[in-house]
Chain A
Amino acid sequence: MDCHEFLAQMAELLDGDMAASAADAFDRHRQACAHCRTALATVEQMRRLYADERFFAMPEGASERLRQSLAAGLEEPLAPAALRPAAAVPSSAAAAPRRRGWLGFGADTGRLRALAWAAAAAVVVLAVGVARWQASASTTSGWLVDSHCYAAYKSHPGDHPSDCFIKCATSGKTVGIEDAQGRFHPFNARGRAQAIAAVEASHRKDHLWVTVKTAPASGPALDVVALTLGDPAAAR
């Protein structure tokens, strides 16, 4: 066994994989070659030092900071609008009847009364319309992602390039949001344009946490009315 073979076998020895048939020759070389003997001894010593948990240890308070961060980040999963149970009718719609009070003010003629009732009817119709819109339109938070990144990350979570989003999105891939359950919801053209503009304006070019206000969907894509960048920890 020469020095090159010894060092190759040293790797096997350190990993506990040395074949029994190689052990004698390895040992003979070790006794005969001072350089290799020293190399083995120092590599073993080096491994012991790097394995020592006193070194490279988490600094004081890091574990607590991690838990605080997780406590904020591990809130209940934020389902996209379409997956949430129907929202209760906002209180603004319920408040509309209270406005009846102004109808009686000075309304002592038939004409004024008719106008008042017509106005009241319009307010009610408007309130119902707004209530319906608000019940179906809503806000969704999640990771901004394009369809390529989404597919790549799904299959290989540990192998996702950092600037993939902006490259893919600007080259025509579908842009959307990944909800807390890991499902992808594509944006319409308006949302896509807003998303790309937001990422280009940001110092980050990869996934960003966003909140989108969406209008009632008329198709499979989310109809994005407004898009804002945010912090997942703050989006609760």
Chain B
Amino acid sequence: MPESGTAVEDDLALVRRACSGDREAFYTLVSRYERGLFRSALAITRNQADAEEVVQETFLRAYEHLNQFRAEAKFQTWLTQIALNTARMKLRKAHAGLWESLDEPRATEDGFLPRDVAEWRENPEQRLGRVEIETILHHALQGLPPGYREVVALRDIQMLSTQETADVLGMSVANVKTRLLRARLQLRERLAGPLGKRA
């Protein structure tokens, strides 16, 4: 995942080449971002098949609209916006009427103080298998409200910066930080059971 200024310029050069018909340039961009997009799509949709479809539709849509990409935005941010929108559409279709509003106050959001402060075992990987840990991580994410899941997916799973996360979500950096802190603390509480020392 490119982070440096050079890599971003390289993205732009690849986009320009792809716009002029160079398919290999577009496939280079696909290789660069498919894994990150898949990881966040999986975290949001909670389903591997849906996540695969999200990534496919994202790149198809991006290609169709490549000539509309404006150089002032980062390509990865633009691409992630498309992926997020595609994932949201998929979720809404699958769970029409079940969309949980972030605006509804939740008891656990009153104040930032975590309720469960149990310590975790130092290295869960030594005690649990990869599949088991992944199931635990998935299950904990599934319990988060969609807006919290999105911010964790972009910031902590796809590893976008806080600014990039804010750009993708159309929020201020301050709001991203607040939402992220609450999401992380909720997530941490959900993981305290299976990964805690009492487990």
By a beta-carbon cutoff of 8 Å, the part of chain A in contact with chain B is 3-4, 7-8, 10-12, 14-15, 17, 34-35, 38-39, 41-43, 45-47, 49-51, 53-59, 62-63, 65-67, 69-70, 73-74, 143, 153-154, 157-160, 162, 180-182, 206, 232
Among A45, A58, A63, A157, point to the contact of B78 (Cβ < 8 A). Answer: A157
Instruction: Give chain A residues whose Cβ lies under 8 Å from the Cβ of B63.
Output: 70, 73-74
Main secondary structure of the interface of B (DSSP, over half): helix
Question: Are A47 and B156 in touch, CB under 8 angstroms?
Answer: yes
Most buried by B among A11, A160, A181: A11
- On whether the beta carbons of B60 and A232 are closer than 8 Å, the reply is yes
Most chain B CB inside 10 Å of its own CB: which residue of A35, A47, A153, A180: A47
User: Is B170 located at the chain interface by the 8 A CB criterion?
Assistant: yes
What are 12 pairs between A and B in contact, CB < 8 Å?
A: A4-B113, A14-B184, A45-B120, A45-B195, A49-B133, A55-B137, A56-B42, A57-B39, A59-B48, A62-B38, A143-B64, A162-B89
B177, A11: Cβ atoms under 8 Å? yes
Beta-carbon contact of B34 and A63 below 8 Å: yes
Contact between A158 and B168, CB atoms less than 8 A apart: yes
Contacting residue for B85 out of A45, A62, A160, CB 8 A: A160
Chain B residues close to A by CB (< 8 Å): 23, 26-27, 30, 34-35, 38-39, 42-43, 48, 52, 55-56, 59-61, 63-65, 67-68, 78, 80-82, 84-85, 88-89, 92-93, 111-114, 117-120, 122, 124, 130, 133-134, 137, 152, 156-157, 159, 162, 168, 170, 177-178, 180-181, 184-185, 187-188, 191-192, 195
Using Cβ atoms and an 8 Å threshold, which residues of chain A touch B23? 74
Residue on A nearest B18 in the bound complex, by CB: A74
A-B contact count (CB 8 A): 146
The reply to whether B81 and A157 form a contact with Cβ atoms under 8 Å apart is yes
**A69–B88 Cα gap in the complex (Å)?**
21
Whether the pair B68, A182 counts as a contact (CB closer than 8 A) is yes
B157/A57 in contact, CB under 8 A = no
Cα A181 to Cα B188 in complex, Å, equals 46
Q: Is the CB of B152 within 8 A of A11?
A: no
- Residues from chain B with a CB closer than 8 A to the CB of A50 are 137, 152, 156-157
Nearest-neighbour CB distance to chain B for A203, whole angstroms, equals 9
Flag if A159 contacts B187 (CB, 8 Å).
no
